[in-house]
A and B are shown apart, each in its own frame.
Chain A
Amino acid sequence: MIVITCSNLDDNAKLLKAKWPNNNAILLSVNDLTSQGWEVCFEDFSRSKFVAEEKVWPVTDIEGVVNLLPFIAPFELFKIVEEDRKYVASELNAFLFYFFSKFSCPFLNNPSMFNLSGPFIKQEEWIINCRKTGLLVYPQKENNKQFYQSFNATHSISYINGIVYGDRSDNYERRMKHIAEITGLNHFTLHLKEEEGQEYFHSVSTYPTINNEEALSRLINYFQN
């Protein structure tokens, strides 16, 4: 089965699960992390068990993971008394990172220590990554946070496991693959802003587009192939 990690409040995750072929996807929500049934054996991880949709499953059932949960926020730990939530959130983030580090199945995307849904890359570091691939960076973006608020993206290009698709994808295929290589991401969407005939880096998102048929189809194909 494919595990989809998600916030308790993420309706897109439920939509993704509903659209997955053969009912082969299951949601692992924040509620499941604070539920009875987790059994993780360090010496023999294959004997471990996890909780999803309030049921206990063997870890050997996991064939792939879609990480829609970047981190566990204290406010979302509804079952935990308020004064313990910050500690429990810290424990769960650390635990889930270790748990997923034990799998070699396909991930979208591989978790990192401070971002369970991909590498922890700051905006300034994205600018450096873009420059390495030859993407233009709007000069004012380098040190003016107010600028971002009025700088809207005009088009987007997506990447998943070697495939580039979206607006003007042919022009950006090489650069998108280069970004994937230097960041370790196997899925992301690059947002660009066109201005006076030039295209500038706007931002990057790693949350998959669920309500676009092409994006959804490519996401599912990634796990089925």
Chain B
Amino acid sequence: MVLLWGSLHDSPMQEVKEELERVNAPILVVDQKNVLQSQMHLNLLSNSGTIEYCDKKYNCSDIQSAYIRTYDFTKFASFKSTDYNDPSFYKAAQFEQQMTLMLEHHGGVVVNRISNGYSNCSKPYQMEIIKGLGFEVPDTIITSSPEYAKAFLAKHERIIYKSISSYRSIVSCLTLKDMKRLNDVVWCPTQFQNYVEGVDYRVHVLGEKIFTTKIISSASDFRYSKDTELVDFQLPVEINEKCYKLTKHLGLHFSGIDLRCSRNNEWYCFEVNPSPGYTYFSNGAGQRITEELGSFLLS
């Protein structure tokens, strides 16, 4: 059976579930909102274990593949306790850890093992990997020195700032009129990049297949814009190859890669997402990623 672990309020998880049901595939959906009705008995030494979920038992050995789209379980409304001393917190945390461990050591296809997504937790660290595989990356500094930040802004005239970690942030622009705001960097090293003018693309690499969406938007962060248009697109062959190599280098079966083609026809890569929320792009551009992902999990 295919294990689906995450939240059914999540669009990719819901679509994959419906696709696997459409082809009558045996599935086990472990919804994180039911974490307090979940228990794992795992023996890594003998590579065996059982999952108890909502009063039913399942053998881990029956899991042929898995799709993971997990969230912070403490944020679910059904999980009332966020006190670390509460026994229910320990029970939930233990289950989440045991599930992660089981999937880390599972011999089947796991889309994607959580450890293979670690590079995304430090953006500059991931950027080193991206650059090493031949993509352009923006000029970048990380600083808690206002003068250093101001010199960077003066050099580029338009810069952006965004989070270093996987904490979600809105990419925001600064121009020369924002110089005074840079005095605030003293409290925490902040990442700045030069603003690259160009056209955005989101690439999904799934196994051997590549799906590209061209993004047409007026905002510096299209995710938060109302005028975004999505179009199915074919990348140049060499860019396709770089995206494929980058995904494989990171040990991922499925990735979401953010690209921008500059006005000088240089291809910049900003990020590789190891758990892409692909439905926004595939539905907007008419791509059959859900069907392919379902086939991939069953292959």
The chain A residues found within 8 Å of chain B, CB to CB, are 33-43, 49, 51, 79-80, 87-88, 90-95, 97-98, 101, 113-114, 122, 124-125, 127-128, 131, 137, 142-143
Chain B positions within 8 Å of A, measured between CB atoms, are 41-45, 97, 101, 118-119, 121-125, 127-128, 137, 139-146, 148, 163-167, 186-189
C-alpha gap A91/B118 in the complex (Å): 14
| A34/B187 in contact, CB under 8 A | yes
Whether B118 contacts A124 by the Cβ 8 Å rule is: no
A124 to B48, CA, bound (A): 13
Q: Judging by beta carbons under 8 Å apart, are A124 and B124 in contact?
A: no
Alpha-carbon distance between A151 and B188 when the two chains are bound, in angstroms: 42
Question: Which of B121, B128, B164, B186 makes the CB contact (< 8 A) with A35?
Answer: B186
Q: How far is the CA of A124 from the CA of B94 in the complex (A)?
A: 12
User: For chains A and B in complex, what number of residue pairs have CB atoms within 8 angstroms?
Assistant: 108
Determine if B143 and A124 form an interchain contact, defined as CB atoms under 8 angstroms apart: no
Min distance, Cβ B190 to any Cβ of chain A, angstroms: 8
Q: Is the CB of B145 within 8 A of A39?
A: yes
Query: Which 6 interchain pairs have the tightest Cβ spacing?
Result: A94-B165, A42-B140, A94-B122, A36-B186, A90-B165, A40-B142
20 A-B pairs, CB-CB below 8 angstroms? A34-B188, A36-B145, A39-B143, A39-B145, A40-B142, A42-B127, A42-B137, A80-B188, A87-B167, A88-B188, A92-B189, A95-B165, A97-B121, A98-B142, A98-B164, A124-B101, A127-B44, A128-B45, A137-B45, A142-B45
Residue in B124, B146, B189 whose CB lies within 8 Å of A42: B124
Q: Measured between C-beta atoms, what is the minimum distance from B184 to chain A in Å?
A: 11
User: Is there contact, CB below 8 Å, between A122 and B143?
Assistant: no
Q: CA–CA, A49 to B143, complex, Å?
A: 9
Task: List the A residue with the shortest CB-CB distance to B131.
Answer: A42
CB-CB under 8 A from A88, the residues of chain B are 187-188
Determine if A113 and B188 form an interchain contact, defined as CB atoms under 8 angstroms apart.
Answer: no
Are A142 and B189 in contact, with the CB atoms below 8 A?
Answer: no
Provide the bound-state CA to CA distance between A42 and B129, in Å. 12
**Residues of B close to A33: CB separation below 8 A:** 189
**Which residues of B lie under 8 Å from residue A90 when comparing CB positions?**
163, 165-167
Given contacts A122-B101, A124-B101, A127-B44, contact A91 B144 (CB under 8 A): no
**A137–B189 Cα gap in the complex (Å)?**
44
Complex contacts, B121 vs chain A, CB 8 Å: 94, 97, 113-114
CB neighbours of B165 from chain A (8 A)? 90-91, 93-95
Q: Are A101 and B188 interface neighbours, CB within 8 A?
A: no
Residues of B within 8 A of A97 (CB): 121-122, 125
Report the bound CA distance from A114 to B127 in whole Å: 18
Residue of A nearest to B137 (CB): A42
Contact of B122 among A36, A98, A137 (CB under 8 A): A98
- Residues of A near B43 (CB, < 8 A) are 142-143
B189 in contact with A95 (CB, 8 Å)? yes
Docked pose: A143 CA to B97 CA in angstroms: 13
How distant is the Cα of A49 from the Cα of B144 in the complex, in angstroms?
A: 10
Taking CB atoms, residues of chain B closer than 8 Å to A79 are 187
When chains A and B are docked, how far (Å) is the Cα of A27 from the Cα of B293? 49
- Taking the closest CB of chain A, its distance from the CB of B10, in whole angstroms, is 22
Contacts of A113 in B (CB 8 A): 118-119, 121-122, 125
B141 in complex: contacting residue of A39, A80, A91, A127, CB < 8 Å: A39
Smallest CB separation, B254 vs chain A (Å)? 20
Complex Cα distance A131/B44, Å?
A: 11
Q: Which of A33, A91, A137 has the most CB of B within 10 A?
A: A91
Provide the bound-state CA to CA distance between A221 and B121, in Å: 34
For A92, the chain B residues whose CB sits under 8 A away are 188-189
Assuming A94-B165, A95-B189, what are 11 further A-B pairs, CB within 8 angstroms? A36-B144, A38-B144, A39-B141, A42-B139, A80-B188, A90-B163, A91-B163, A92-B189, A137-B45, A143-B41, A143-B43
The answer, among A36, A94, A131, A143, for a CB contact under 8 Å with B164, is A94
Q: Give min CB distance, A127 to chain B, whole Å.
A: 7
For residue A33, give the distance in angstroms from its CB to the closest CB of chain B: 7
Q: Is the CB of A43 within 8 A of B44?
A: no
Asked if residues A35 and B139 are in contact (CB atoms below 8 Å), the reply is no
Which residues of A lie under 8 Å from residue B146 when comparing CB positions? Answer: 36
Chain B residue contacts of A41, Cβ below 8 A = 141
Residues of B within 8 A of A87 (CB): 163, 167
